[in-house]
Amino acid sequence: MSSLAPAKNKNVDQVKKSFLAELDIDPITFSVILNRFSTIAREMTLTLEYTSWTSILAVARDFSCAIYDSQPRQVCMEDALPIHTNSLHVILKSMVKAFDGNVYDGDVIVSNYPYAGNTHVGDFVTATPVFYQGKHMFWSVTKGHQLDCGAYEATSVAPSAKDVWQEALQIPPIKFYEKGEPRQDVINLYLANVRYQELLSGDLKAQLGSIWNGKRRMIELVDEYGPEETMRYVEAILDYADRRTADEIRTMPDGKYYAEGYVDTDGAGNTDLKVAVTLNIDDDKIHADFTGSAPQGSGGTNGTQGVMEASAGIPILCAIDAEIPHNDGCLRHITCYSPEGTIVKAKYPAATAMATLCPAGQEQEVVWKALAQACPERSSAGYGHFHCIPTISGVDEREGESKGWSAMFFNGGPAGGASHGADGWPLIMTSSGMGGLKIISAELTELLYPILIDYHEIEKDSMGHGRTMGGTGIRIKVSPYDTPMDCHNTGDGAANPPFGLQGGTPGIGGGNYRENLSTGHRDYCSSKGYLKISKGEAWVGISSGGGGFGDPLDRDPALVVEHVRDGIISEGTARNIYGVIFNENTYALDAGATEENRQALKKKQGELPLIQPMGPSASKWLENDMREGDNYLLDPLP
């Protein structure tokens, strides 16, 4: 996870040496063991990536690998998704409790159960204990987002699911392996309840291979240093992250900071559901209280305890020094709360299929907004909320036989927000992933699936503008090759766009529609909902750029000219928002005219807002893009 924190004026190396000296810890051995854990987690990650069968794991990398001690406390994660690793301890504790006194060497415990601390049903957790000479020392854990989990419709994030029975097969903590022997009947029960059984059987084996590889490497580490010395350094690694995190939080002003955000829809036709937070910074602790958020929704857009814990922490961990190891030492400084029955923490049997995407994105957004009131230089402008990333599926008949196919199509994803010192990134997709997700290339997509990508390009003027600008949004057009495709939109943040910060402007919000290629008629769809795309039709997604940070009139004029030349922003935006004047034929900057224009614009702009927009449904994209005769569909059902 990247850091938005500014550089510190203290000697971090000296702080580290002083701390290690207090604990009588050799700094070289400390660094070696710390990096050994990182290497083990990285090898687990590569094992899972290279052996998975579905594109959502093998290409998009929607999974995470981590190492925990027996308590269980997070020791290490590497190249993972923060929505997973900031919360894996919650489901892992449920697994430990479920099998208290009955955890054996060779066991594999699995679960996807949101009400046992998991994030959402799409995330499948596999965990194996690591024993050394009969003593339980570690856990090797993976969490992978499954292509299918047995929902009533062909998606693992069903926004229209009304309860747990519609959204998926619910798997509380259960053993797939016991003492090294597979419980094949239990595995068969799982596979019998999901689509694409061969593919998901392959993904299960990939997750098992990953945790077993991690287990093998951890045993080698303990062999080398001995169990007592290994655990002494584990404690030092956690304590070091604890101390460094405490020091960072103490530089933030104490106080209570309130912020609100909004969910477009709950998947069942209800709009603009509020997510609220009161962020309490007190010495070295931060507490996020989500009291005041809307009641839980009727569809699958509800949160879980695991998602809340992860989302409360993601903006905070982005705001501290990136050199601090992300482990239990950091997480113990961040707590959260929501009363049960809210959109942030739903009450059983509410569906929570969308939880890691929405309301997770809004939970992170409001924490960023609250943090911006305390220390804006450490916060970020708004991120796009997992929009224009449908699950598409159908039947492939290209090889003379009919076979089902499905893909979570990340290619149309929105962008990240700008920060104090950097522009946002395109295709960040969701702040829950913080850049850890990838897209499938157009060539590989058309090879794997019976679809055609007509275009996949940057959307001009889609970002929020500022001294630093948001990442660019994406415009993408996809047509079925021959047979129809089902398109399940599973996102948010179209009506409620990524916010701008300290005078920066919001992203566009964006949207999606089904287009008849003969008549040009468009059926626009809300950020959630089902569209059937037949031959002769196309699905078009226009995702939002991220929010801007700071006054656009302070942006380097030479950069603005480059953006116009590269087709990222229009000439009108350069002139009217950034105040930049240039020769439209040669792209030569007119410095004098630019300065004069900027001074005139500054006189008109008035006081710059800290955060914009403040209210719900602020995006104007839909009303500007729809044409006479087009339709708008709110949360359409299959």
What residues pair up with 528 in beta bridges, in sequence order?
490
Residues 6+ apart with CB under 8 A from 80: 41, 45, 64, 65, 66, 436
- How many Cβ atoms from other residues are within 10 Å of residue 352's Cβ? 30
d(CA 131, CA 153): 41
Mutual angle of helices 227-250 and 27-51, in 10-degree steps: 90
- Asked if residues 584 and 419 have their Cβ atoms less than 8 Å apart, the reply is no
Residues 6+ apart with CB under 8 A from 178: 104, 106, 107
Looking at residue 21, its pLDDT comes to 86
Composition of the chain by helix, strand, coil, percent to 5: 30, 25, 45
d(CA 579, CA 448): 46
Q: Residue 594, Cα to own-chain centre: how many angstroms?
A: 39
Burial 380-396 (b: 16+ CB within 10 A, else e): bbbbbbbbbbbbbbbeb
Q: Residue 494, Cα to own-chain centre: how many angstroms?
A: 17
Strands 522-525, 631-633: pairing is parallel
Residues 6+ apart with CB under 8 A from 546: 381, 382, 383, 384, 414, 415, 416, 417, 418, 424, 425, 428, 463, 464, 470, 471, 498, 507
Token output for 133 = 């000479």
Please state the φ and ψ torsions of residue 97, each to the nearest 5 degrees. -65, -40
Which stretches of 226-291 are DSSP H helices?
227-250
Looking at residue 20, its pLDDT comes to 85
- How many Cβ atoms from other residues are within 10 Å of residue 332's Cβ? 16
- How many Cβ atoms from other residues are within 10 Å of residue 91's Cβ? 28
What residues pair up with 145 in beta bridges, in sequence order?
123
For residue 418, give the nearest of 461, 465, 360 by alpha carbon: 465
Token output for 636 = 């359409």
- How many Cβ atoms from other residues are within 10 Å of residue 520's Cβ? 10
d(CA 204, CA 217): 20
- Asked if residues 258 and 278 have their Cβ atoms less than 8 Å apart, the reply is yes
Looking at residue 8, its pLDDT comes to 47
State the amino acid at position 242 in one-letter form.
D
For residue 279, give the nearest of 375, 377, 419, 382 by alpha carbon: 375
d(CA 503, CA 572): 19
d(CA 548, CA 471): 9
For residue 118, give the nearest of 346, 298, 314 by alpha carbon: 346
Token output for 387 = 């929009």
Token output for 311 = 């989302």
d(CA 378, CA 402): 53
State the amino acid at position 32 in one-letter form.
V
Maximum distance among all Cα pairs of the chain, rounded to whole angstroms: 77
- Asked if residues 514 and 539 have their Cβ atoms less than 8 Å apart, the reply is yes
**Structural domain boundaries of the chain?**
12-244, 380-550+616-638
State the amino acid at position 423 in one-letter form.
D
Looking at residue 11, its pLDDT comes to 67
Q: Residue 328, Cα to own-chain centre: how many angstroms?
A: 20
d(CA 511, CA 413): 11
State the amino acid at position 397 in one-letter form.
E
| Rounded average pLDDT per 10-residue block, the chain, 638 residues | 50 78 91 97 98 97 98 95 96 97 97 98 98 98 97 95 97 98 98 97 98 98 98 97 97 98 96 98 98 97 98 97 95 98 98 97 98 96 96 94 94 97 96 95 95 97 98 98 95 97 98 98 97 98 98 98 97 98 96 98 94 97 97 96
State the amino acid at position 573 in one-letter form.
T
| DSSP, residue by residue, 498-555 | PPEETTPPP---EEEEEEETTT--EEEE-SEEEEEE-TTEEEEEEEPPPPPBS-GGGS
Strands 174-178, 528-533: pairing is unpaired
The DSSP secondary-structure symbol of 192 reads T
Three-state DSSP at 488 gives strand
Residues 6+ apart with CB under 8 A from 632: 523, 524, 525, 526, 622, 626
